[in-house]
Amino acid sequence: MQFEALFVPPGDDPFPGDVVDQPHISRYWAGFGTRPGDLGSIALDAGAPIGAAWLRRFDAADPGYGFIDGSTPELGIAVAADYRGVGLGTRLLDSLTDHVGRMSLSIDARNPAYRLYERKGFVVMSRSAMSLTMLRTG
């Protein structure tokens, strides 16, 4: 699902399939479930994954893209293309916010999912070019 989480602006070439194995991306999924605070939810259709949402903490020495502080987990969320726009992302996000109030994320300002995060209480904390760091405090 990590590949599905990568936003490609309309008209841009898609990422190569192995981009998820690059260290700056794999750090979000490698060994998931083995670190304190890892939390996730997966949506299935006939046993196949169609969406996922996950939280992982990073520290100041090795921050993630949406880093706020070491106690704030970063959100990753993905919905397979054929299942977008039907509320699956909202349900996946809600499955995590039921357990964790404070979380951050990094998003491309052109990503339509931005509206979902605004509705769910995320606010922009910083901006760098087209990249936004957003925070939800609960």
* CATH number, domain with residue 82: 3.40.630.30
pLDDT attached to residue 49: 95
User: Quick check: 123 pLDDT over 90?
Assistant: yes
Task: Please state, as a whole number, how many other Cβ atoms lie within 10 Å of the Cβ of residue 110.
Answer: 12
* Residue span of the structural domain in which 35 resides: 2-136
- Residue 101 in contact with residue 137, Cβ under 8 Å? yes
User: Quick check: 38 pLDDT over 90?
Assistant: yes
- Report the chain's mean pLDDT, rounded to a whole number: 93
User: Quick check: 72 pLDDT over 90?
Assistant: yes
**Averaged pLDDT, 1-5:** 86
**Averaged pLDDT, 64-75:** 95
pLDDT attached to residue 92: 96
Q: Return d(Cα 29, Cα 59) in angstroms, integer.
A: 16
Q: What is the count of structural domains for the chain?
A: 1
3-state secondary structure of 93: helix
pLDDT attached to residue 17: 87
pLDDT attached to residue 106: 96
Q: Return d(Cα 27, Cα 48) in angstroms, integer.
A: 23
**Averaged pLDDT, 14-34:** 90
DSSP output for 63-105: --TT---TTSPEEEEEE-GGGTTSSHHHHHHHHHHTT---EEE
pLDDT attached to residue 54: 95
The enclosing H or E element of 94 equals helix 88-97
